[in-house]
Chains A and B, each alone.
Chain A
Amino acid sequence: MSAVALAPIATNRAFLPREKLDVLLDALRDDDRTIIGPIVRDGAVVYDEIRDTTDLPIGWRTDTAPGTYRLEQTGGTRAFDYGTALSTWKRYSHPPRVPLTTTDGDGLVASVDPEVPRVAFIGVRACELAALGIQQRVLGAGPAGDADHAARREAALVVAVECAVATSTCFCTSMGTGPEIDDGADIVLAELEEGFTVRAMTSAGERIVEGLSLATATQGHLESAAEQVATVRASIGYPVATGGLAERLRAVPDHPRWAEIAERCLACTNCTLVCPTCFCTSVAPTSDLDGTTGSTERVWDSCFTVGFGRVAGDANFRPYVADRYRQWLTHKFSSWWDQFGSSGCVGCGRCITWCPVGIDVREELLAIAPPDSPPAPIPWPLAPARGHAPAPVPVVEPARYVPVEVTAVGRETNDTVTLSLATDEPALLASRPGQFVMVARPAQAIPPISISRLRPDGLELTIRDVGPATAALTSRKPGDRLSLRGPLGRAWPIASAHGGDVVIVAGGIGVAPLRPVIDEVLRERHRFGAVRMYIGARTPRDRLFVEEMAALRGRTDVEIEEIVDRGGPDWLGRVGVVTQLFERASWNGSHTTAFVCGPDRMMQATARTLAARGVDPSRTLVTLERNMACGVGVCGHCQLGPYFVCRDGPVFSAAELGDTFTVDGR
Chain B
Amino acid sequence: MLPVPPPAPADRQAVRHRPRIGVVKFASCDGCQLTLLDLEDDLLAIADRVDIVEFAEATSRRSSGPFDILFVEGSISTPEQVEEILRLRAVTTTLVTIGACATAGGIQALRNWADHDAVRSLVYPHPEYVESLATATPVADHVAVDAELRGCPISPDQLREFVTAVLAGRRANLPDEAVCAECKRRGIVCVAVTGGVTCLGPVTRSGCGALCPAFGRGCYGCFGPRESANGPGLATWLERDRTPTDVARAFALFDAWSPPFRRVIDAAGGPPGPIDGSTAKEPPDA
A, B: real partners: yes
Also in contact, A314 and B2, with CB within 8 A (given A268-B180, A274-B184): yes
A289 touches B167 (CB 8 A): yes
B170 touches A306 (CB 8 A): no
B237 touches A67 (CB 8 A): yes
B228 touches A468 (CB 8 A): no
A445 interface residue (CB < 8 Å to B): yes
Interface size class of B (residues with CB under 8 A): 35 or more
Q: Mark B232-249, 1 if CB is under 8 A from A, else 0.
A: 111011000000000000
A284 touches B173 (CB 8 A): yes
B165 touches A287 (CB 8 A): yes
A289 touches B46 (CB 8 A): yes
Q: Mark B191-227, 1 if CB is under 8 A from A, else 0.
A: 0111110010111000000000000100000000001
B9 interface residue (CB < 8 Å to A): yes
Q: Which of A331-339, A352-360, A402-410, A524-532 lies on the face that meets chain B? A: A352-360
Closest to A269 in B: B181
Q: Mark A289-311, 1 if CB is under 8 A from B, else 0.
A: 11100100001111001110000
- Identify A356's interface contact among B169, B170, B173, B180, CB under 8 A: B180
- Identify A273's interface contact among B45, B185, B228, CB under 8 A: B185
A243 interface residue (CB < 8 Å to B): no
Q: Mark A442-468, 1 if CB is under 8 A from B, else 0.
A: 011100000000000000000001011
A41 interface residue (CB < 8 Å to B): yes
Also in contact, A321 and B193, with CB within 8 A (given A287-B165, A289-B168): no
List chain A residues, Cβ under 8 A from B227. Answer: 306
List chain A residues, Cβ under 8 A from B164. Answer: 286-289
Give the contacts of A541-584 with B (CB-CB under 8 A): none
A468 touches B194 (CB 8 A): no
How many whole Å from B13's CB to the nearest CB in chain A? 11
List chain B residues, Cβ under 8 A from A91. Answer: 187
A514 interface residue (CB < 8 Å to B): no
List chain A residues, Cβ under 8 A from B7. Answer: 468
B104 interface residue (CB < 8 Å to A): no
Q: Mark B1-33, 1 if CB is under 8 A from A, else 0.
A: 011001101001000000000000000000000
B178 interface residue (CB < 8 Å to A): yes
- Identify A42's interface contact among B168, B180, B192, B216, CB under 8 A: B216
Q: Mark B157-172, 1 if CB is under 8 A from A, else 0.
A: 0000101110111110
B49 interface residue (CB < 8 Å to A): yes
Of residues A291, A320, A353, A445, which shows the largest number of chain B Cβ atoms within 10 Å of its Cβ? A291
Also in contact, A264 and B233, with CB within 8 A (given A41-B189, A287-B165, A305-B181): yes
Give the total of A residues in contact with B, Cβ under 8 Å: 59
List chain B residues, Cβ under 8 A from A469. Answer: 170-171
CA distance A96 to B209 in the complex (A): 14
List chain B residues, Cβ under 8 A from A44. Answer: 189-190, 194
Closest to B184 in A: A273
Also in contact, A291 and B167, with CB within 8 A (given A264-B233, A305-B176): yes
List chain A residues, Cβ under 8 A from B201. Answer: 268, 356
How many whole Å from A356's CB to the nearest CB in chain B? 5
How many whole Å from B84's CB to the nearest CB in chain A? 30
B175 interface residue (CB < 8 Å to A): yes
Number of A-B contacts (CB under 8 A): 162
List chain B residues, Cβ under 8 A from A472. Answer: 169-170
B169 touches A270 (CB 8 A): no
Of residues B192, B193, B194, which shows the largest number of chain A Cβ atoms within 10 Å of its Cβ? B193
Also in contact, A445 and B170, with CB within 8 A (given A70-B194, A269-B181, A307-B176): yes
A263 interface residue (CB < 8 Å to B): yes
B177 interface residue (CB < 8 Å to A): yes
- Identify B195's interface contact among A43, A288, A299, CB under 8 A: A43
List chain A residues, Cβ under 8 A from B177. Answer: 269, 301-302, 305-307
Looking at chain B's contact residues, the main secondary structure is helix
A46 interface residue (CB < 8 Å to B): yes
B230 interface residue (CB < 8 Å to A): yes
CA distance A169 to B193 in the complex (A): 14
CA distance A36 to B6 in the complex (A): 42
- Identify A270's interface contact among B161, B170, B186, B190, CB under 8 A: B190
How many whole Å from A611's CB to the nearest CB in chain B? 36
Closest to A262 in B: B230
A150 interface residue (CB < 8 Å to B): no
How many whole Å from B58's CB to the nearest CB in chain A? 18
CA distance A87 to B188 in the complex (A): 10
Of residues A284, A287, A294, A472, which shows the largest number of chain B Cβ atoms within 10 Å of its Cβ? A287
List chain A residues, Cβ under 8 A from B236. Answer: 264, 357
List chain A residues, Cβ under 8 A from B161. Answer: 286
Q: Mark B124-167, 1 if CB is under 8 A from A, else 0.
A: 00000000000000000000000000000000000001011101
List chain B residues, Cβ under 8 A from A67. Answer: 193, 237
CA distance A220 to B239 in the complex (A): 51
Also in contact, A270 and B189, with CB within 8 A (given A284-B173, A286-B173, A289-B167): no
26 contacts between A and B (CB under 8 A): A42-B194, A69-B190, A70-B194, A86-B190, A97-B185, A265-B230, A267-B178, A268-B178, A269-B177, A269-B181, A273-B181, A274-B184, A289-B49, A290-B49, A299-B185, A301-B181, A302-B177, A305-B175, A306-B177, A356-B180, A356-B237, A357-B233, A357-B237, A358-B237, A467-B171, A471-B169
| Interface set of A (CB-CB < 8 Å, partner B) | 41-44, 46, 67-71, 86-87, 91, 96-97, 263-270, 273-274, 282, 284-291, 294, 299-302, 305-307, 314, 320-321, 353-354, 356-358, 443-445, 465, 467-469, 471-472
Q: Which 10 pairs, one residue from A and one from B, show the smallest C-beta to C-beta distance? A: A291-B168, A268-B202, A273-B184, A96-B185, A42-B189, A266-B202, A43-B194, A357-B237, A268-B178, A268-B180
Other 8 A-B pairs with CB < 8 A, given A285-B173, A306-B227: A46-B189, A67-B193, A86-B189, A87-B187, A282-B175, A289-B168, A305-B175, A307-B176
